[in-house]
Amino acid sequence: MNAPWKPGAPGGRDAFAAYICDDAALDVLRPVVIEMGWQPEKCNKGGLRNAVQSLSISASPNILMVDLSESGDPLSDINALAEVCEPGTVVIAVGQVNDVRLYRDLVASGIHDYLLKPLSPAQVRDALVNAQAVFAAPKQHDANTAKRHISTAVIGTRGGVGASTIATSLAWLFSADEKMPTALLDLDVHFGTGALALDLEPGRGLTDAIENPGRIDGLFIERAMIRANDNLAILSAEAPMNSPLMTDGAAFVQLEEEFRQAFEMTVIDLPRNMLINFPHLLADVNVVLVVAEMTLASARDTIRILSWLKTNAAHTQAIVVANKVQSGVAEISKSDFEASIERKIAFTVPYDVKAATNAAKLGQTFADANRTTKAGAAIRDVAKSIMGVGEGETIDDKAKPKSSLLGKIDLKGMLSKKPKPADKARETA
């Protein structure tokens, strides 16, 4: 619910836990729990409040029994429980109040069953068997409510084009504006700026993951990721320069897999050399933002990256974002750039040095620190389009290649001394 970094995978959850106020009820419960094959030590002394407290810092069990006896306002306490309890948990309430209205209200707020004290073994057994069946049953609405997940990789065509600026901004917008549980994975392992942009310390999480990919699971993610806001957790590193990256990329793929379970959005800051070493990183990625600047070298590498994506990751939607665009001062004009890459630039983010300075000063992401600027608005447009991907929209329909353009545009000015980037890339592709 509001704790997206909690493990969502079944492996990370206990089968059963109970928070019961009195020993008499615990004495009835424990033998039945043992019969069910569950751990009796998961029957805790305490009531609803204790349940809320401990579930706020740990994974929810599949089936949860809570005692309302010491709760002054059971309904509002149940709502507090819903806040910390993962969806899917089957909750059985226990209490002393024999009141049909309370029972109805509890059921309406998502409680599966209500058991009246004093408990009897048969009554408890029936309730637990029933709860187990409900938990195990295929959820009818699963197909529709299956957690959607959009994974976006941000690749800079060259260093310094602003890929990390855009990746961190998007992660912030998804998590803070759209309230989507979001993970930011910064794969610039030695020089990552994901944490820096948010004024955080990267910690050892990513380094640990690379060293011990076998340890990566829901719980690992919960502990290793740095929390940037209520909905944003990041994994970034400043690995020492004297330790080369010793990995076959398994850790990264495993991390992506876990993010898919625990979050709704993943943003991967993906340096282009990582693409060469670990092409399988894009296997489950939905959207690739190719961030370019208006230079000849960037045009060439945009062509090469787009062509690589077409061959090796055709399932992804590739979108070209031009960053640091200054009218009149560009090495290549926008139209020449589009002609040479044979498609439209989908989004243009203007060069705004004041905005960059502002973000650095505030320790906030570029888009967050500069909401009223054109550059900030442009990145918000990118975020909104990616949000739409889940609803079946394609982003760059308007940016499809225009085959006729290339022949018509005179690239002489930019290409008289150098080979046409498109041709060169075709040779090498």
If the CB atoms of residues 135 and 191 are measured against ligand ADP, the closer one turns out to be 191
Q: Are 401 and 345 in contact (CB under 8 A)?
A: no
Tokens 């990118």 belong to residue: 382
Query: Crossing angle, helix 23-35 and helix 121-136, to 10 degrees?
Result: 50
Kindly tell me which residue out of 8, 162, 181, 192 binds ligand ADP, with binding defined by CB under 6 A: 162
Position among 58, 71, 152, 165 found at the interface with ligand ADP (CB under 6 A): 165
Q: Taking CB under 6 A as the rule, does residue 160 contact ligand ADP?
A: yes
> Token digits for 118?
């004093």
- Selection from ligand ADP, Mg ion, none that 160 binds (CB < 5 to 8 A by kind) is ligand ADP
Residues 161 to 180: which contact Mg ion by CB under 5 A? 164
Stretch that binds ligand ADP, among 52-60, 233-241, 346-354, 417-425 (CB under 6 A): 346-354
Question: Is the CB of 131 or the CB of 355 nearer to Mg ion?
Answer: 355
Given ligand ADP, Mg ion, none, residue 323, with its beta carbon under 5 to 8 Å by kind, binds ligand ADP
Q: Is 342 helix (H, G, I), strand (E, B) or coil?
A: coil
Distance CA 306, CA 324 (A): 20
Instruction: Tell me which stretch binds ligand ADP (CB under 6 A): 101-109, 160-168, 232-240, 250-258.
Output: 160-168
Rounded to the nearest whole angstrom, what is the least distance from the CB of residue 12 to Mg ion in the complex? Answer: 32
What character string, x for contact with ligand ADP (CB under 6 A) and - otherwise, covers 319-338?
Answer: ----xx--------------
Residue 159 interacts with ligand ADP (CB under 6 A): yes or no: yes
> Which of Mg ion, ligand ADP, none does residue 353 bind to, with CB < 5 to 8 Å depending on kind?
ligand ADP
User: Least distance (Å) from ligand ADP to the CB of residue 250?
Assistant: 25
User: Footprint of ligand ADP on residues 364-403 (CB under 6 A)?
Assistant: 375
Residue 422 touches which member of ligand ADP, Mg ion, none, C-beta under 5-8 Å by kind: none
CA distance 84 to 309: 40
Residue among 253 and 356 whose Cβ is closer to ligand ADP: 356
Helix axes 48-55, 74-84, angle to 10 degrees: 20
Site string for Mg ion, 145-164 (x = CB under 5 A): -------------------x
Question: CA dist 429 to 8, 45, 194, 272, Å?
Answer: 41, 66, 31, 16
| Residues between 295 and 324 with contacts to ligand ADP, criterion CB under 6 A | 323-324
CB of 42 to ligand ADP, least distance (A): 46
Q: CA–CA separation, 230 vs 120, rounded Å?
A: 42
Q: How far is it, in rounded angstroms, from Cα 63 to Cα 59?
A: 12
Integer Cα distance of 176 and 424 in angstroms: 42
- Judged by beta carbon, residue 300 or residue 324, the one nearer ligand ADP is 324
Going by C-alpha positions, the residue among 254, 193, 173, 270 that lies closest to residue 221 is 254
Beta carbons within 10 angstroms of residue 105's beta carbon: 15
State the helix-helix crossing angle for 421-428 and 296-312, rounded to 10 degrees. Answer: 40
Among 234, 239, 349, 395, binds ligand ADP (CB under 6 A): 349
Q: Binding of ligand ADP at residue 352 (CB under 6 A)?
A: yes
* In the complex, minimum distance from the CB of residue 182 to ligand ADP, in angstroms, rounded to a whole number: 18
Is residue 368 within 8 Å of 172, Cβ to Cβ? yes
Query: CA–CA separation, 153 vs 256, rounded Å?
Result: 11
Q: CB neighbours (10 Å) of residue 87?
A: 12
Nearest to 183 by CA among 123, 267, 261: 267
Query: Could you give the CA distance from residue 98 to residue 91 in angstroms, rounded to a whole number?
Result: 18
Q: What are the beta bridge partners of residue 63?
A: 16, 90
Looking at the Cβ atoms of 162 and 376, the one nearer to Mg ion is 162
Q: How many residues bind ligand ADP (CB under 6 A)?
A: 17
Q: In angstroms, what is the minimal distance from the CB of 197 to Mg ion?
A: 10
Query: Which two three-digit tokens encode residue 66?
Result: 């809570």
CA torsion, ordered 403, 404, 409, 412, to nearest 10 deg: 60
Find the shortest distance in angstroms from Cβ 255 to ligand ADP.
20
The CB-of-236 to Mg ion minimum distance in angstroms stands at 11
196 binds ligand ADP (CB under 6 A): no
Told to check if 238 binds ligand ADP by CB under 6 A, we report no
193 binds ligand ADP (CB under 6 A): yes
Q: Where are the alpha helices (DSSP H) in 213-352?
A: 218-224, 250-262, 272-277, 296-312, 334-341
Binding residues for Mg ion, rule: CB under 5 A, are: 164
* Residues in touch with ligand ADP (CB under 6 A): 156, 159-165, 193, 323-324, 349, 351-353, 356, 375
